[in-house]
Amino acid sequence: MAKKVKPENWDSPALALSGGGFRATLYHCGALMRLNELGYLTKITRFSSVSGGSITSGMLAAAWPRLKVENGMVTNLDAEVIAPLRAFCRRSIDTMAVGWGAVLPGKSIGDVLADAYDDMFKKITLQDLPDSPQFVFDATNLQTGRLVRLMKKRLADFTIGEIRNPQVRVAVAVAASSAFPPVLSPVDIKVDPKSWVELDGAIHHGDPAYTRTLSLTGGGAYDNLGLESIDDFSTVIVSDAGAPFGTEETASTLWPQQAMRALDIATDQARALRKRLLFAQCAAEDRLAVYSGIDSNPAEYPAAQTLNPDLAFTTKLARMRTRLDPFSDQEQGRLINWGWLMMDVAMRSYVTKQAPPPSSLPLPKYPLR
């Protein structure tokens, strides 16, 4: 077995931003805000993202060259990242993509989705992103069933190989990562078959059936937490806005409902296994895992707290829709506050232990109750 090679900057922190549509996009906005206030956002050397998390990460990546840093904190995060994301989350993206993708000649739903993202990303490519930190947009290859990493340094499916320095628009990478199946996918990326570099174990390398066009769906189909791209860093921070699993008193006898229920069960088990594996590996290897979940209870963390949200209320936030449709200012404000508060509690519990507990929410107009 080949020796596992540590990633670049493995001894620095990495951040995973989960999927979950616009709900996740907004929850992660709050997480970024609190990480910045704690002086930690600028320490992160790799961002791994899925679906709604990739919308947030994509905006951060696109804005990175314009960010101003003083004393380890970004002073214009709201203007360059949060405000544009909030404006985008007031739009009806999924309905528009499906509608226009069905009628525009030569355009697929995935193409229209990517074009909508270009309103934020201005047609920049992965090559326009910074070398550091690294931004990894995670998608799923429908052909191989494996994770596809899209980043400045490479596009990789380890069963096929890698393409170095890929000329892919950021909007296309984010669209592929957030192409919720089956409505918004696939996002097809045509590549030069000769551009693939073989990797160990690349069983499909050189096979034209896999090396000409990548048919991609949302990264959540493979890893909704975005952990696989960062799970060997010394400090792994996770912002998870994925859908919490719920029980049902009565099982449906209708085949479609049973199929969806079985898919929900399988997805929940996959997420739970990834989380358990992450914590087990980190404990065994003396690494640190920090988890902030949209369905978490702050009282279960050791950090001192002065803000006590209503758990009945935050449970409703955790079950909010994951559509890419308009979120009201109130919905946005409460999701941002919740992502901010949970990241605060998680970070002060395990990383920034000396930081005092905050006395107010960043958006006090939208209380968590």
CA-to-CA distance for 139 and 323, rounded, in angstroms?
A: 18
Residue among 49, 51, 178, 296 flagged as catalytic: 51
What φ, ψ does residue 231 adopt, rounded to 5°? -75, 0
DSSP 8-state assignment for residue 230: T
Report which secondary-structure segment, H or E, holds 238: strand 235-240
How far CA 115 is from CA of 73, 109, 127, 325, in Å, comes to 32, 10, 18, 16
CA distance 12 to 78: 25
Question: Does the annotation mark 138 as catalytic?
Answer: no
Alpha helices in the chain (DSSP H): 21-37, 52-63, 77, 83-88, 93-103, 109-121, 170-177, 208-211, 220-223, 255-284, 311-318, 329-350
- Sequence letter at residue 98: V
Contact of 171 with 114, CB cutoff 8 Å:
yes
- Which tokens sit at 95? 């309905």
12 is catalytic: no
- Among 200, 286, 359, 360, the active-site one is 200
Concatenated DSSP letters for 134-197? EEEEEEEETTT-SEEEE-SSEEEETTTEEEES---BHHHHHHHHT--TTTT-PEEEE--GGGEE
CA pair distance 99, 82, nearest whole angstrom: 28
Q: How many CB atoms lie within 10 A of CB 8?
A: 13
Q: Distance between CA atoms of 246 and 329, rounded to whole angstroms?
A: 27
Instruction: For residue 141, give the nearest of 194, 186, 204 by alpha carbon.
Output: 186
Which positions are catalytic? 51, 200
